[in-house]
A and B are shown apart, each in its own frame.
Chain A
Amino acid sequence: MATHTLDARRLLCPMPVIRAQNRIKTLAKGDILEVTCTDPGAKNDLPTWCRINGHEVIEIETKDDDIIIKIAVGEA
């Protein structure tokens, strides 16, 4: 289980979702992906994408303008 990071700042949805989706394809089940975004829409869109595709959002943290969404990778 490894932790990976993805910088999706300044990208508007759905680009943070697309970047996370493409990155998760390269990761193993149980890995953690921390996505840093600035578009508030990502707070809804990434969890929705995770729910329908079998991954789990374990934490959403806001630091100044950054939104950090931690995803536990599920089955492919």
Chain B
Amino acid sequence: MNKQPKAVALISGGLDSMLAVKVLQAQGVHVEGINFYTGFCVEGHTHAIRKSSQKKEKRNNALWVAEQLGIKLHIIDVIEEYKEVLTNPKHGYGANLNPCLDCKSFMVKKAREWMDENGFDFIFTGEVIGQRPMSQRKETMPIVAKQCGSDERLLRPLCAKLLPETLPEREGWVDREKLLAFNGRSRKPQIALAAQFGFDEYAQPAGGCCFLTDEAYSVKLGDLWRQRGSKNYDLDDIMLLKVGRHIRPRDHFKVIIGREEGENNFMNGYRKQFTHMHATSHNGPLALIDGNVSSEDLELAAQIVARFTQGRDTDSVQIEVNEKDNETPFTLDVVPLRNDDIPKEWYL
């Protein structure tokens, strides 16, 4: 190849993909980044929603990394296509509802499609053998490469020397000798290489960058699927699982209660889609009711919501109820449930 080789990097926003890009840039490869948005990405969401976090700097780490590296970044919406990956993973789930192996195969496959459409030569990732228990093991890496039909054009610069030679190495687009042999969970080699490249700032997401690796989130998603009798979901469903307290007092409905002003504001945008309620006699949160409810259910929901108002220790809290499809609100005067009256198992 006489022309400059062109490679597309899967950019998560973490240190490893940043280093992998730098390693290939040092070999004269033209690099552009690709980042997939599944709807479950932690990236910035909690900060965007929660008021208490709004003073903190908000940045998308994938974009920030791309700017540091001087590469273009293409962010791809895969929300719809990702549903099949999440609801029917061939290789199952990890510790929570994280289908990491199928997810990685899917993303490399999508990157391969992008590579073909845009005239690039190969794909690379910042993966390191043994770094993650499910998707980054020596035994699973060939599965990902084969499943996505890219085994010859998928390079992992940080551990390439421990893996079979790929097309970019055989063709001389990259020099295998200058690639690396990182292995295992230790971060020391990456931190040393970051220092060598002069990176003094980089994101170190604790526990990954996906809500599906989070136990509390997975419990709520599993509950949603159980109640629906299917694994269907849309973007609004998965966004609402990121906010509020979720309390399910009865099988057929749950109450989502804002925990602070930012969440109340965010949930306010969903008012028209849900029966909702808030206290008028005391300060308190907005609550959305998810499910078909009777008047008895509304009374119970109002008592639960009253528990989270400033009138929690009084004998009377007025709760305004706005039913979905009914423009006229009405008020319930309820006795707030005491803390002991809300069984722990109601909390999701």
Contact with A along B315-347 (1 / 0, CB 8 A): 000000000000000000000000000000000
Residues of A within 8 A of B54 (CB): 40
* A14 contact set on B, CB distance < 8 A: 35, 37, 41, 43-44, 60, 62-63, 75
One of B64-72, B90-98, B283-291, B294-302 at the interface: B64-72
- B76 lies within 8 A of A44 (CB): no
Whether A62 is near chain B, meaning CB under 8 Å from some CB there, is: no
Residues of A contacting B43 in the complex (Cβ-Cβ under 8 angstroms): 13-14
CA distance A15 to B64 in the complex (A): 16
State whether B75 touches A21 (Cβ < 8 A): yes
Chain B contact residue count (CB 8 A cutoff): 29
- Looking at the assembled complex, report how far the CB atom of B73 sits from the nearest CB atom of chain A, in whole angstroms: 6
Residues of the A chain whose Cβ atoms lie less than 8 Å from the Cβ of B74? 21
Residues of B within 8 A of A41 (CB): 44, 47-48, 58-60
B49 within 8 A of A: yes
Complex-state Cα separation, A53 to B67, whole angstroms: 9
Judged by a CB distance under 8 angstroms, whether B229 is at the interface is no
Determine which of B45, B63, B64 lies in contact with A17 in the assembled complex, contact meaning CB atoms within 8 Å: B63
From A12, A43, A49, B73 is in contact (CB under 8 Å) with A49
Q: Is B57 an interface residue (CB 8 A)?
A: yes
Complex interface residues of chain B between 20 and 60 (CB less than 8 A to chain A): 35, 37, 41, 43-45, 47-49, 54, 57-60
Q: For residue A48, which residues in chain B have a CB less than 8 angstroms away from its CB?
A: 59-60, 63-64, 66-67
Binding site for A on B (CB under 8 A): 35, 37, 41, 43-45, 47-49, 54, 57-60, 62-64, 66-67, 70-77, 239, 269
